[in-house]
A and B are shown apart, each in its own frame.
Chain A
Amino acid sequence: MALSTASNFARPDDAFRLVVEAHRGLDDAQSAVLDAALVLILANHIGDMAVLRDAIALGKRRIAATVTPRQKS
């Protein structure tokens, strides 16, 4: 897998908090646009199709697992 899933931040709580706070005060539609912008900005920064594909696959697999409980084995 090209994607690194090891913990890359020295202080992961700070990174999570930074993203959460970016959404404070936004309604769902505004948050969705912000997320869309962040995805594109970060995807371009990474600039690697294999990493992007792995990230999408990982995201989709986990999201599918949370919305369709039967897939949990």
Chain B
Amino acid sequence: MSKHVTQFGYRRHPDQDRAPRAGAHHPVVVVGAGPIGLSLAIDLAQRGQAVVLLDDADRIGEGSRAICFSKRSLEYWDRLGVGRRMVEKGVVWSVGRIFHGDNQLYQFNLLPEQGHKMPAFINLQQYYAESYLVDRVGDLPAIDLRWRNRVAALEQRNDHVVLTVETPDGPYRLTAGYVAACDGARSTLRGLVGADFQGQVFEDQFLIADVKMTAEFPTERWFWFDPPFHAGRSALLHRQPDNVWRIDLQLSPDTDATIERRPENVRPRIARMLGHDQFDFEWISIYRFQCRRMARFVHDRVIFAGDSAHQVSPFGARGANSGLEDAENLAWKLARVIAGQSPAALLESYHIERSLAADENIRESTRSTDFMAPATRQEARLRQAVLALAEDTDFAKRMVNGGRLSVPSVYDTPLSTPDRESWAGGPCPGASMVDAPLQRPDGVGLYLSDAFIAAGKTFALLQFAGGPSDVAPAGVESIRIGDGEALRDSTGAAAARYDAQAGSAYLLRPDSYVAARLRDPTRAGIEAALKRASASS
């Protein structure tokens, strides 16, 4: 059905001509060229780290799959050089509406304030995202992307990993300092390291249909409980580029998926929803899902990221987005460890930070799913009460759960230096950088996120005017804001968003999370925070 398949060519690599006992060695091998593996490889390459990227297939574009990309993901992709392209092609949205039957219960706006470079969300078919990432990989000679290279065996040694890779020309071996397993929900590597993958299976089935049509619906996320066109169940409508609309319909647990997914059975359901049948199918899929995670994301020298490490229900856009947060969390740490700038202990913080984030994503998406598909009669009654009360009470509106959309986690992490002073606002240590509009002295506008990219994506010290100018240690870039500085805050938005007073400073990690903040920064204070954030002490 999908006409968006992009085919890539398998090419024999000189590594394949080496004797099995003398396999080529690479510092890092990323397995899986989906959105997570591609982003991780680009991030590593931009940090000067050579990467081998293996994928068992040679094509992308089997359905639109993940479509909602969060502000955080877009900010990450902007750092990887593909943010603008994603936003230009994507459908930008920030408003969601929740309906019960025919009535709108409430609406929400995910980005009510101005002055952010990236929108709250875009919808974009995963095949577009992947193809832009593959194009970006093509700009980076440090990435060696090998299609139809399937990892068939893995052995962990003291200081490296031995991989056996199957290709159309037969198997070959290579060794890797580290392996990043981004090979998806059915991860081969998870099995090869003998890790389990436990969690909750949901019985309800969901039908995804991507339909092509010209429609007048606004560019918003619409979610229905008990809609007139699909009694007793839930439905979701989302716009994608190219006049494609994502429709998600909840089915009963005992529905026969092979029958339900036939276009002649899906068509009347969709026609009932839309009130016409002037549409074509792009993609139909039926799925059941699980919420589960690996107990450990780091298995010696094999590190798991994305769906291979954790899976959530799709309501909340926490799948691909959390995988991208994994990639941005892992890339700088892996690059520092391989370059000898930080001890291997830094990688443990990847497990700590991202497994806590996975727990949060699983908790949020499980709650949404339980609300949509109550497990017992009394749960159904509680939901019925919430939906009825939501018609005219604010508290019940806020209990209606049609998906809580992905926001970055705040890490409770050993890399953070706890606040010593009092802060009434601003991102706390462990939270991600907040964007703000700035101006250069010549009046040209730019965003704080641009200034962070220009600083080189390393540790950066964000300093508001009025403090000392010599406190940034070697290797820490300075971003100075305020009167008389390189960047002006003429709207005052940056100072407000960072609760800044004269001289206030934030130490930002290379993934733009806050490591520490100080009202009166000193060189010694910044150095101590830097040591802590890079696991050097």
Binding site for B on A (CB under 8 A): 29, 32-33, 36-37, 39-41, 44
CB distance from A51 to the nearest CB of B (A): 16
Q: Which of A29, A33, A36, A37 has the most CB of B within 10 A?
A: A36
Is A36 touching B395 in the complex (CB atoms < 8 A)?
A: no
Binding site for A on B (CB under 8 A): 377-378, 381-382, 384-386, 388-389, 393, 395-396, 399
**Given A33-B385, A36-B378, A44-B396, 10 more contacts at CB 8 Å?**
A29-B381, A32-B378, A36-B384, A36-B385, A39-B382, A40-B386, A40-B389, A40-B395, A40-B396, A44-B395
Nearest opposing residue in chain B for A30, CB measure: B381
Q: Which of A29, A37, A41 has the most CB of B within 10 A?
A: A37
Per CB-CB distance, the 8 closest pairs between chain A and chain B, nearest first, are A37-B385, A36-B385, A44-B395, A36-B381, A36-B382, A33-B381, A32-B381, A40-B385
Contacts of A40 in B (CB 8 A): 382, 385-386, 389, 395-396, 399
Nearest opposing residue in chain A for B394, CB measure: A44
Specify the main secondary structure of chain A where it touches its partner: helix
Specify the main secondary structure of chain B where it touches its partner: helix
Contacts of A41 in B (CB 8 A): 389, 393
CB distance from A56 to the nearest CB of B (A): 13
CB distance from B488 to the nearest CB of A (A): 43
25 contacts between A and B (CB under 8 A): A29-B381, A32-B377, A32-B378, A32-B381, A33-B381, A33-B384, A36-B378, A36-B381, A36-B382, A36-B384, A36-B385, A37-B385, A37-B388, A37-B389, A39-B382, A40-B382, A40-B385, A40-B386, A40-B389, A40-B395, A40-B396, A40-B399, A41-B389, A44-B395, A44-B396
Nearest opposing residue in chain A for B398, CB measure: A44
Contacts of A39 in B (CB 8 A): 382
* Docked pose: A45 CA to B14 CA in angstroms: 70
Contacts of A33 in B (CB 8 A): 381, 384-385
* Docked pose: A72 CA to B524 CA in angstroms: 63
Contacts of B395 in A (CB 8 A): 40, 44
Nearest opposing residue in chain B for A41, CB measure: B389
* Docked pose: A29 CA to B385 CA in angstroms: 12
CB distance from A5 to the nearest CB of B (A): 24
CB distance from B6 to the nearest CB of A (A): 50
* Docked pose: A45 CA to B158 CA in angstroms: 59
